[in-house]
Amino acid sequence: MQAVKGERAGLEGFGMDSFERRKASFFRRWGWKFLPFAQTDPLPHPRLMVPHQKEEVVKLVDLIREGDLVTFVVSELGMGKTTLCKYLSEVLPLQDPQLLTVFVPAQSVQSPEQMLRILLNRLEIEAGGDLTEEFEKFYRWHQAYPASKLVVFVDEFPELDVRVAEMIRALADLRNITWVLNGRKDQILGYLREHVPSLLSRKRYMLEMRPLSLEEVRELLLLRMAWARGETSPRGDSLLPFTPSSLRRIHRLSGGVPREVLRLASEAVYSAIEKNATKIEASLVGGRKRRSSRKKVKRRPRPRRRRVGKRRKKARRFGFFGR
């Protein structure tokens, strides 16, 4: 028993047990089952990352259901375009059995053949043969199932090999195939203009994701905290444990970028726990230093060379040694 007590005392000396207890107490106080602002994937709903621009998202979904289009989801980093595309690729087939979706990260595709095989596998068609044969299989599926629609989400489209983009240009001519290409706006437009301008001319819609306003940051935090409580909607308008001043600081420091909003909110929660605070004031936002994952290696000091001659000359100049 004494050994166990000593071990616990040692852990508490490092602040491990006490921090976890304070963390559990903080979460219980606000009814959280987990940290609301953790950037987990996948999310049960895109509003937990992108609570705004509902009308634009609805328009995008309506166009996808119509088929026969190339559309773009563009934004700067951290705005939630990948989260939105992943969610749509999972949910759309549940709402409409005629919609078949596939989410393809551009970095995972190295050749046109590989892209065609990914699509054929999604259609449950055996892949094999050269590019021409696989293209013919894809075309026959299109003729055999005219009511079905294939929706292909390509994540970070500008990272695709140009040969794959050219093949997408050829497939875009087929009916009932929708391509949703995402990436940073300047990169995706520059890539298309340089390599496949005809694909750009087939654009029917571009959803440009914009930064969150102050009110939208507030809505995101409320939705996240409701999610952590196991609820589908917020309880009233109370933003606690965040204060109005901490909300304004999160908005200002994040620039309205959802990923940064969540990072700042997470760090503020841990700062409050460390300081044993019940509310998150503005002073707790943005002040927590990130711990580096790289271990510091102590370097052995280099032995200093004795440069007697020069030191003697300099010493003589200042009169330390006699002439």
pLDDT digits (tens, 9 = 90+) for 58-68: 999 998 888 76
- Mean model confidence pLDDT for the chain: 83
Banded pLDDT at 201 (limits 50, 70, 90): confident
Question: Which domain-ending residue is among 161, 190, 208?
Answer: 208
Q: Cα separation of 263 and 278, whole Å?
A: 19
Q: Cα separation of 130 and 167, whole Å?
A: 14
Mean pLDDT is highest, among 8-22, 240-254, 309-323, for 240-254
CB 57 within 8 A of CB 207: yes
Locate 218 and state its tokens.
């507030």
Question: Which domain-ending residue is among 208, 231, 259?
Answer: 208
Q: pLDDT at position 68, please?
A: 67
Question: Would you list the DSSP string of 236-292?
Answer: TT--TTB-HHHHHHHHHHHTT-HHHHHHHHHHHHHHHHHTT-SSB-GGGSS-PPPPP
Q: Report yes or no on 138 lying in a domain.
A: yes
CATH code for the domain of 140: 3.40.50.300
Instruction: Indicate if 76 and 182 belong to the same structural domain.
Output: yes
Is the per-residue pLDDT at 84 higher than 80?
yes
Instruction: Indicate if 190 and 215 belong to the same structural domain.
Output: no
The total of structural domains in the chain comes to 2
Is the per-residue pLDDT at 16 higher than 70?
no
Instruction: Indicate if 188 and 101 belong to the same structural domain.
Output: yes
Does residue 112 have a cis peptide bond before it, meaning omega lies within 30 degrees of 0? Answer: no
Q: Report yes or no on 260 lying in a domain.
A: yes
Is the per-residue pLDDT at 50 higher than 70?
yes
Q: Report yes or no on 16 lying in a domain.
A: no
Question: Which H helix or E strand runs over 120?
Answer: helix 112-122
Q: Report yes or no on 161 lying in a domain.
A: yes
Residues spanned by the domain of 126: 46-208
Across 38-52, 227-241, 270-284, least confident range: 38-52
Q: Report yes or no on 112 lying in a domain.
A: yes
Decide: helix, strand or coil at residue 36: coil
CB 36 within 8 A of CB 224: yes
Which is it for the CA torsion 105, 107, 113, 114, positive or negative?
Answer: negative
Instruction: Indicate if 202 and 217 belong to the same structural domain.
Output: no
Q: Report yes or no on 185 lying in a domain.
A: yes
Instruction: Indicate if 239 and 95 belong to the same structural domain.
Output: no
Question: Which domain-ending residue is among 173, 208, 243?
Answer: 208
How many beta carbons lie within 10 A of that of residue 284, not counting itself? 24
Instruction: Indicate if 161 and 71 belong to the same structural domain.
Output: yes
CB 87 within 8 A of CB 45: yes
Higher-pLDDT residue of 5 and 54 is 54
Instruction: Give me the mean pLDDT over the 1-27 stretch.
Output: 66
Q: Cα separation of 78 and 210, whole Å?
A: 11
Q: Cα separation of 262 and 268, whole Å?
A: 10
Which pairs with CB-CB distance under 8 Å and at least 24 residues apart come from 264-273? 265/36, 265/37, 265/221, 265/224, 266/35, 266/37, 266/38, 268/242, 269/26, 269/35, 269/37, 269/241, 272/26, 272/241, 273/19, 273/22, 273/23, 273/26
pLDDT digits (tens, 9 = 90+) for 118-176: 988 888 888 777 778 877 887 788 778 878 889 999 999 999 999 999 989 988 888 88
Is the per-residue pLDDT at 222 higher than 60?
yes
Instruction: Give me the mean pLDDT over the 73-93 stretch.
Output: 91
pLDDT digits (tens, 9 = 90+) for 86-124: 999 998 998 888 899 999 999 999 998 899 889 888 888
Instruction: Indicate if 191 and 270 belong to the same structural domain.
Output: no
Instruction: Indicate if 172 and 265 belong to the same structural domain.
Output: no
Q: Give the percent of the chain with pLDDT over 90.
A: 49
Q: Report yes or no on 218 lying in a domain.
A: yes
Q: pLDDT at position 190, please?
A: 95
Instruction: Indicate if 254 and 149 belong to the same structural domain.
Output: no
Is the per-residue pLDDT at 276 higher than 60?
yes
Q: Give the percent of the chain with pLDDT over 70.
A: 83
Q: pLDDT at position 288, please?
A: 59
Locate 87 and state its tokens.
């969610």
